[in-house]
Structure formats: structure tokens, C-alpha cells
Amino acid sequence: MEIIEKIFLENKAWANGKVQFDKLYFEKLSLMQEPDFLWIGCSDSRVPANVITNTEPGEMFVHRNIANVVDINDINLMSVVQYAVEYLKVKHIIVCGHYGCGGIKAALTNNSFGNMDVWLNKIKEIAKQHDIELALCKSEEEKAKKMVEFNVIAGVEKLKTVEIIKNSTIRLHGWVYDLHDGILNKLV
Ligand code: CO
């Protein structure tokens, strides 16, 4: 069997399981979505928002990009934020980074990654603002860890400047996920 076919088999098994548990599961879910959370995370396959938070379809509105970058000039992200705030009326926005983030590590090098450089430059800008603290790190690993944290905090700070968030009671959170133990840690 081709590996892609397995996805359809697994999907059928999953859907059947849901219906067995609750006959109207999909009918109810199709009527509306009322998620309390907007998750802004990394695209990394090891950090799937719903899986690591044990949340179900309908519970979390999700935006993921390389290294969970928050750029208020990013029309993709900002459309997600606007929709989540104005229409879905989420109560919390979570920016979640993760240690061992390849995007962060790449941005800390001087290597070129082709078209991705435009994206990585957004992270390099944040790194520049913390150059003294980063220079004090004793290893590349420590530097990367610090940068993951700075990037999350910068993301939350940028969201604070967004008008529709300022005018709301939405709570902002900055978290880091640790690939080594599967645990989320609060930063801000
Ligand atoms: Co990552």
C-alpha cells in the first residue's frame, strides 16, 4: 500500500470512531465553531497544536508558520487574527514556540536559504535587538533556546499593539514547548 493511501484509511477509521461515540458528532460540529483559543505556532510536524493540548476539532483556531513568527505586516497572520477576534470571539491568543526549532537555528546562522531568507530576516531582526544577551550564551544550543524565547515574547508584544486586540478583553500568552518531554512552559 502506498503511504498516501494510509491517510485515507486512517481518516475513515477516525471518522467512524467519532460517530460510534456520538452519532451526531459531525452534524453538530458542522453547524458552528466556537473556539476559545487562537494558537499561533510553528509548522514543525512535531508540534501539532491539537495533539499536544489534547483538544478536539472546534476547540482551537490555528495558524502555523515557520518559527511561529508574528509579523503585523503579514496579511495571512493578520487575517487569521482578525477573523479569530471579530468573528470567532476567541478569549485567548497563544503564541507557542518550541525548543529545537529549525527556523530559529537557521536564522542564527549566516547561511543563505534561498527564498526563505525573507522569512528568516524577520527572526534576525528580533535577534539583533537581543545581540548582547545572545552573545553571552555559552553554547549554540543555549543561544538557540534563548532565541526561541525572545521570538515568542516579541510575538506577544507585537500582538499587544494590534488595535482590535487592544480594544478587547482577550488574554495573550507566550509559551514554549519542549520536544524532549512534551511539556508546555509559560513564558509570558
Ligand atoms: Co519550529
pLDDT tens series, the chain, 188 aa: 799 999 999 999 999 999 999 999 999 999 989 999 999 999 999 999 999 999 999 999 999 999 999 999 999 999 999 999 999 999 999 999 999 999 999 999 999 999 999 999 999 999 999 999 999 999 999 999 999 999 999 999 999 999 999 999 999 999 999 999 999 999 99
pLDDT of residue 1: 79
Q: What is the layout of strands, in order, in the sheet containing 92-98?
A: 60-65, 37-42, 92-98, 171-178, 183-186
* Catalytic residue of the set 63, 96, 98, 173: 98
CA of 41 to the centre of ligand 1 (A): 8
pLDDT of residue 159: 98
CA of 68 to the centre of ligand 1 (A): 7
CA of 131 to the centre of ligand 1 (A): 21
46 is catalytic: yes
63 is catalytic: no
pLDDT of residue 17: 98
44 is catalytic: yes
State how far Cα 133 lies from the chain centre. 24
CA of 82 to the centre of ligand 1 (A): 24
State how far Cα 180 lies from the chain centre. 18
Residues with CB under 5 Å of ion ligand 1 are 42, 44, 101, 103
The cell numbers describing 166, all together, are: 487592544
42 is catalytic: yes
Q: At residue 102, what is the residue type? A: G
Instruction: Find out whether 118 and 66 touch, Cβ atoms under 8 Å.
Output: no
Domains in the chain: ranges and CATH: 1-31 (no CATH), 33-186 (3.40.1050.10)
For residue 67, give the nearest of 92, 104, 35, 33 by alpha carbon: 104
DSSP per residue, 37-72 = EEEEEE--TT--HHHHHTPPTTSEEEEEEGGG---T
126 to each of 62, 78, 88, 153, 173, how far by Cα in Å? 23, 19, 30, 10, 18
CA of 96 to the centre of ligand 1 (A): 10
β-strands 183-186, 171-178 pairing: antiparallel
180 is catalytic: no
Instruction: Find out whether 90 and 35 touch, Cβ atoms under 8 Å.
Output: yes
Q: Is the pTM of this model over 0.85?
A: yes
* Catalytic residue of the set 44, 63, 96, 173: 44
